[in-house]
Amino acid sequence: MKKFVIKSILWVVGISIGYGLYQMGVRQWPRKLPTQPVALRSAVQDILTQKCAVCHDTERDYPLLSKIPLLGDLISENHRQATRHWKPFDRSYLGPSATEGQRIDAPTPLTVFTKLSHALSENLMPPREHLILCWGSWISPSEKQILNEWIKSQRGEWLSQWGITNGMEFPIQPIPTSIPHNEAKAALGEKLFYDKRLSSDGAMSCATCHDLQKGGDDAQRLSVGDGGQSTVVNTPTVLNAVFNIRQFWDGRAADLAEQAHQQLTSPDAMGVTNWTAVAERLASDASFKTNFLAVYPLGFTEKNICSAIAEYEKRLITPGSRFDQYLQGKKGVLSTEENKGYLTFRKFACASCHNGPSMGGQSFEYADLKDNYFKGRVLNACDKGLMNFSQVPRDDKSFKVPTLRNVEMSEPYFHDGSKTTLEDAVAAMLTYQVGKPYTDEDIHQITTFLKTLTGNLFGKPLQK
């Protein structure tokens, strides 16, 4: 019996040392910062696969281990929580298992790496309990350096699509003064954005629900569309929508042109069923027709109309907020209270999800991450969020993170428009997304900070 116990202990110790050495990546220990991008990428892949995938790869399952009582439950709960919080393997460039390429629920690198950088700097991961069993998954200083280098390069690559070349060390970047777009198409799109002839009953344009002076939405809980139909979710702002990973709360449009098409044809928005009639109405304006044909030789087709509107939306960005000036080095521009608010915003790591130039729009996150957001109410179809579109059960109740730019102007808040004040929205975030104890003073400070995010549209300050 004694022999058996000693033997078992030796086995366990042996396996633990062996597995630990594998996780340390023993052949390349200690790891050095690779000089080539390809080598850097493969070093990062090694680290994440050996040390983090066991909990964070959504495609992993544990057919044998999960059958063991207690341990099995612990493993599956850990896996579930880990992948609800961070999904780095859903993009093909990081993981070995995401074979079909990028998945719909995959966050952009901005969110993947902001969360990673937070976890590294706070030594949050791997979890301590896990390190006791799997000591080899500890992240060494040289590995941190490798990951930090990768974070910078990947953020930089993603931000370059908008011509942003600074600030990749940080979670939030100032909004650039303009982003690359086609001027002639945007000018046509501007006209269409305000053109009521686009709606089936001639009663509304995009601007009816997206009033640019009101912060890009209409300040209603739900909006009223074509023929009096109410929308099922709160109207989000069009300002800075160009930075979004996909469009709509549930991400059902891949980009702005697809979004415009769905909105034009949706019965609870503009209700277009007959495109020929729309084209005829638009063509009755002779000078507009001439201008349009000069840019789009095929004329008022569905595709061209949506393309022009999407191009115009690239102009709807709001640079120059006081917070952006602060990020650009003008330190005195925030008051003491606002500075405190920013520290509190950082203390609660709000930028884990509200990051990038628009402070949002980079990932789908669970509305009930830390607590039951939906408690005490009947769920409706739109509460399924991304799952409505992707049909993947894992996506249930996850929503595209909204932008925090100009947020003081976009009440009411959340996909259901259920919070009418910014204070209430911040309190709800602290409860449902952050899940740490907080005080009224924290809410007040964060709200004060959020008001510094109001920027300029076409060179003029937006005013509440």
Query: How many Å apart are CA 250 and CA 64, to the nearest integer?
Result: 35
List of residues 6+ apart from 395 with CB closer than 8 A: 104, 105, 364, 385, 386, 387
Using the contact rule CB under 6 A, the part of the chain among 35-43, 176-184, 235-243, 289-297 near ligand HEC is: 235-243
Least spacing, CB of residue 178 vs ligand HEC, in Å? 18
List of residues 6+ apart from 456 with CB closer than 8 A: 318, 319, 320, 321, 462
CB 412 within 8 A of CB 419: yes
CB 388 within 8 A of CB 105: no
List of residues 6+ apart from 320 with CB closer than 8 A: 175, 177, 455, 456, 461
User: Toward ligand HEC, which CB reaches closer, 269 or 278?
Assistant: 269
Using the contact rule CB under 6 A, the part of the chain among 90-98, 124-132, 154-162, 335-343 near ligand HEC is: 124-132
Query: How many Å apart are CA 455 and CA 114, to the nearest integer?
Result: 23
User: Toward ligand HEC, which CB reaches closer, 164 or 264?
Assistant: 264
Residue 85 engages ligand HEC in binding (rule: CB under 6 A): yes
User: Toward ligand HEC, which CB reaches closer, 1 or 188?
Assistant: 188
Residue 87 engages ligand HEC in binding (rule: CB under 6 A): no
Query: How many Å apart are CA 222 and CA 94, to the nearest integer?
Result: 39
Residue 126 engages ligand HEC in binding (rule: CB under 6 A): yes
Question: Considering only residues 425, 453, 457, 462, which one is a binding residue for ligand HEC as defined by CB under 6 A?
Answer: 425
Question: Considering only residues 30, 37, 127, 202, which one is a binding residue for ligand HEC as defined by CB under 6 A?
Answer: 127
Interface residues for ligand HEC in 2-61 (CB under 6 A)?
51-52, 54-56
Residue 118 engages ligand HEC in binding (rule: CB under 6 A): yes
User: Toward ligand HEC, which CB reaches closer, 103 or 405?
Assistant: 405
Interface residues for ligand HEC in 203-222 (CB under 6 A)?
204, 206, 208-210
User: Toward ligand HEC, which CB reaches closer, 317 or 429?
Assistant: 429
Residue 367 engages ligand HEC in binding (rule: CB under 6 A): yes
Residue 238 engages ligand HEC in binding (rule: CB under 6 A): yes
CB 442 within 8 A of CB 408: no
Q: From the centroid of its chain, how far is CA 233? A: 18
Q: From the centroid of its chain, how far is CA 179? A: 19
CB 373 within 8 A of CB 432: yes
User: Toward ligand HEC, which CB reaches closer, 33 or 332?
Assistant: 33
CB 89 within 8 A of CB 56: yes
Residue 433 engages ligand HEC in binding (rule: CB under 6 A): yes
Residue 231 engages ligand HEC in binding (rule: CB under 6 A): yes
User: Toward ligand HEC, which CB reaches closer, 9 or 61?
Assistant: 61
Residue 388 engages ligand HEC in binding (rule: CB under 6 A): no
Residue 446 engages ligand HEC in binding (rule: CB under 6 A): yes
Nearest alpha carbon to residue 51 among 74, 82, 15? 82
Least spacing, CB of residue 424 vs ligand HEC, in Å? 9
Question: Considering only residues 31, 41, 130, 289, which one is a binding residue for ligand HEC as defined by CB under 6 A?
Answer: 130
Residue 402 engages ligand HEC in binding (rule: CB under 6 A): yes
CB 88 within 8 A of CB 52: yes
Residue 348 engages ligand HEC in binding (rule: CB under 6 A): yes
User: Toward ligand HEC, which CB reaches closer, 121 or 166?
Assistant: 121
Least spacing, CB of residue 37 vs ligand HEC, in Å? 20
Interface residues for ligand HEC in 139-178 (CB under 6 A)?
139
Interface residues for ligand HEC in 248-307 (CB under 6 A)?
248-250, 256, 259-260, 263-264, 269-270
**Residue 121 tokens, joined:** 């700097």
User: Toward ligand HEC, which CB reaches closer, 10 or 65?
Assistant: 65
Residue 369 engages ligand HEC in binding (rule: CB under 6 A): yes
Residue 219 backbone class (left: φ over 0; alpha: ψ -120 to 50; beta: rest): left
Interface residues for ligand HEC in 320-339 (CB under 6 A)?
none
Query: How many Å apart are CA 122 and CA 129, to the nearest integer?
Result: 16
Contacts 24+ apart (CB under 8 A), 110-113: 110/155, 110/158, 110/159, 110/171, 110/355, 110/356, 110/362, 111/352, 111/353, 111/355, 111/356, 111/362, 111/363, 111/401, 112/86, 112/87, 112/88, 112/154, 113/150, 113/151, 113/154, 113/155
User: Toward ligand HEC, which CB reaches closer, 2 or 175?
Assistant: 175
Residue 116 engages ligand HEC in binding (rule: CB under 6 A): yes
Least spacing, CB of residue 358 vs ligand HEC, in Å? 9
Residue 413 engages ligand HEC in binding (rule: CB under 6 A): yes
Least spacing, CB of residue 294 vs ligand HEC, in Å? 22
User: Toward ligand HEC, which CB reaches closer, 402 or 455?
Assistant: 402
User: Nearest-5° angle of CA 100, CA 102, CA 107?
Assistant: 150
For residue 156, the one-letter residue type is G
CB 194 within 8 A of CB 301: no
